[in-house]
């Protein structure tokens, strides 16, 4: 099942995407966090209760999750080819290959709609990079989750573009939060594909910049599987329904290329997956450095 957050008739609604139509869930269904929190059985009941059908309108799509109760959770260096391509490019912050997943967070104000412009400000950074990623939405609370049952805690999957500012990422003691949290820079969506329809370790991810495929890989190449990420992240730490986790980017990022390739105003960036749809975004000049 594909679930979208849409703007319809002057308000936000959740809809089931079905080919060339969108079937609206009743307003009392709430937002995507509410639906994820109720579980798959409740979603099945909601989906079987009818609902108004409207023509599919991509321009109505919003980021599928719009209410965040914590920072966006992220895994870094989760494809070994990406880890290896970055050697010698980390400006003195190289490390040995990690034995455990590497985690960081992003601020929720980064999130934008699937087709929205990505804010670009050269005063903020001179090294804007693209990163196609598989994202997941937690559907069941849990702590110390065993690997064997970890996928039972996933509500669904979508795409994310973890736009990064590499100079900021290096400038703050090796901590990635700042270089990953610039406002209005992370497209999410275009919708959520429920977990029962997705094998997270058999998805194709691609990033295309100005018509050129720069990243193309299978999630089979992950260093740590989605189940391993969830189990490790939940060790001593409760994951909550509605939490969003980005699972890392494959090789091909601009920072690791020779010559390096960074984004600029006017660039078109498409992140896509045959199983999950696509994000279509243009880098748009914006003032992110002035006080407000």
137 and 39 within one domain: no
Q: Specify the pLDDT at position 44.
A: 82
Q: Specify the pLDDT at position 287.
A: 98
35 and 11 within one domain: yes
Rounded to an integer, the average pLDDT of 128-133 is 98
Residue pair 26/51 in contact (Cβ under 8 Å)? The answer is yes
- List of residues 6+ apart from 223 with CB closer than 8 A: 77, 78, 79, 80, 83, 101, 248
**Domain of residue 172, CATH code:** 3.90.850.10
Length of the chain: 292
- Asked whether residue 228 is domain-assigned, the answer is yes
φ/ψ of 37, rounded to 5, equals -65, -30
Cα three-residue angle 202-195-224, rounded to 5 degrees: 45
Q: Is the pLDDT of residue 13 over 70?
A: yes
198 and 95 within one domain: yes
- Asked whether residue 291 is domain-assigned, the answer is no
Residue after which a domain boundary falls, among 33, 62, 91: 62
220 and 79 within one domain: yes
Residue 240: strand, helix, or coil:
coil
46 and 151 within one domain: no
Distances (CA, A) of 45 to 26, 34, 40, 50, 51: 12, 14, 9, 10, 12
The model's pLDDT over 27-37, given as tens digits with 9 standing for 90+, comes to 889 999 999 99
The model's pLDDT over 117-127, given as tens digits with 9 standing for 90+, comes to 999 999 999 99
Q: Specify the pLDDT at position 125.
A: 97
Domain count, the chain: 2
Q: In this structure, is the dihedral angle defined by the CA atoms of residues 160, 234, 95 and 93, taken in order, positive or negative? A: positive
- Please state, for a pLDDT cut of 70, what percent of the chain lies above it: 99
If residue 170 lies in a helix (H) or strand (E), which one and from where to where?
Answer: helix 166-171
159 and 26 within one domain: no
Residue after which a domain boundary falls, among 30, 62, 94: 62
Residue after which a domain boundary falls, among 10, 37, 62: 62
* Radius of gyration of the chain from its Cα atoms, rounded to whole angstroms: 18
CA atoms within 13 A on the CB side of 35: 30
Q: Is the pLDDT of residue 41 over 90?
A: no
127 and 34 within one domain: no
End-to-end alpha-carbon separation of the chain, Å? 41
Residue found under tokens 């139509």: 21
The model's pLDDT over 263-287, given as tens digits with 9 standing for 90+, comes to 999 999 999 999 999 999 999 999 9
Q: Is the pLDDT of residue 92 over 70?
A: no
153 and 86 within one domain: yes
Rounded to an integer, the average pLDDT of 165-182 is 90
Q: Is the pLDDT of residue 50 over 80?
A: no
Rounded to an integer, the average pLDDT of 199-214 is 98
**Predicted confidence band at 159 (pLDDT cuts at 50, 70, 90)?**
very high
Q: Is the pLDDT of residue 97 over 90?
A: no
Q: What is the domain extent for residue 254? A: 72-285
Q: Is the pLDDT of residue 173 over 90?
A: no
Q: Is the pLDDT of residue 204 over 80?
A: yes
d(Cα 188, Cα 51) in Å, to the nearest integer? 25
């Amino acid at each position: 099942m594909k679930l979208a957050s849409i703007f319809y008739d002057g308000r936000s609604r959740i809809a089931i995407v079905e080919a060339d139509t969108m079937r609206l869930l009743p307003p009392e269904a709430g937002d995507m966090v509410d639906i994820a929190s109720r579980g798959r059985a409740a979603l099945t009941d909601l989906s079987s209760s009818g609902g108004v059908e409207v023509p599919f309108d991509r321009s109505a799509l919003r980021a599928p999750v719009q209410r965040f109760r914590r920072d966006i959770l992220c895994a870094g260096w989760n494809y070994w080819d990406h880890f290896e391509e970055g050697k010698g490019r980390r400006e003195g912050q190289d490390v040995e290959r990690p034995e455990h997943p590497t985690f960081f967070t992003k601020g929720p104000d980064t999130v934008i709609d699937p087709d929205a412009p990505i804010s670009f400000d050269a005063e903020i950074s001179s090294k804007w990079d693209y990163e196609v990623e598989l994202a997941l939405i937690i559907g069941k609370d849990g702590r110390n989750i065993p690997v064997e049952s970890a996928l039972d805690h996933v509500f669904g999957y979508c795409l994310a573009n973890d736009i990064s500012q590499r100079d900021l990422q290096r400038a703050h003691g090796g901590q990635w939060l700042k270089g990953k949290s610039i406002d209005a820079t992370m497209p999410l969506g275009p919708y959520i594909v429920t977990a029962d329809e997705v094998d997270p370790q058999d998805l194709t991810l691609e990033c295309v910049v100005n018509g050129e495929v720069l990243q193309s890989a299978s999630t089979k190449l992950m260093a740590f599987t989605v189940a391993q990420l969830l189990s490790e992240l939940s060790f001593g730490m409760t994951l909550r329904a509605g939490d969003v986790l980005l699972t890392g980017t494959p090789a091909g990022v601009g920072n690791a290329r020779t010559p390096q390739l960074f984004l600029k105003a006017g660039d078109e960036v498409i992140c896509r997956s045959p199983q999950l749809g696509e994000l279509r975004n243009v880098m748009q000049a914006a003032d992110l450095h002035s006080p407000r």
